[in-house]
Amino acid sequence: MSMKRIGILFCLVLWVFISCQNEAEPVQTKAPGTSQGTAAGRPPEQAQQAPAKAETTSPAPSIVAFDPSSVTREERETTMTDIQHLIERLNGIIRAKNYNAWVSNLSPNYFALISSPEYLDRISQSNALTSQKIVLKSAQDYFTYVVVPSRTNDRVDDIEFESRTRVKAYTINNRGERLRLYDLERTGNEWKIVN
């Protein structure tokens, strides 16, 4: 056999071998939390080049709505007590005008919201602030001119569960109106203000 034929035969065998390997390797879809999928342990850049023969898809998980009636009486009482203690602590922080302690009770998303120029501008347009010629420029201004004058004596009279880890806290004023104080979310053992 000539060297040319041996080379062609070798290439043909190699091509068949590689073709069989590619068909045997499963193609996986993007894994949760990753930026790219992988196929059979190959690096991500090679996985993108692999042709998908038959991609298997699993049915989308059904979204189950939270049922507030599933909260036990004990859970409700424990959560109510926790929220009341949090609000009492917040009242003291606000009375002391302790901005840093107040911020530590906010979720990162809520802090970002109240720090945004758009939000500060919108709040600055309220009658109470425009009549005093106050223009909010920072989250600390929001704390000083909005939170401190209005939140030093809050009282929680009721809570409403949105999920196991998220509640709305309400107070009932002297006219019997139910007013929302805060939206709170529990992360681990801590409740944070989310709205």
- Give the model's pLDDT for residue 65: 86
Q: From CA 195, how far away is CA 192, in angstroms rounded? A: 9
**CA–CA dist 192, 5 (Å, integer):** 75
The confidence score (pLDDT) of residue 1 equals 54
Q: Which residues of the chain have pLDDT under 50?
A: 3, 7, 9-55
* CA dihedral for 127, 133, 137, 140, sign (positive or negative): negative
Whether the CB-CB separation of 148 and 94 falls below 8 Å is answered with yes
3-state helix, strand, coil in the chain (%, to 5): 45, 15, 40
Boundaries of every domain in the chain: 76-193
**CA separation for the pair 162, 194 (Å, rounded):** 13
Percent of the chain with pLDDT over 70: 68
pLDDT at 62: 60
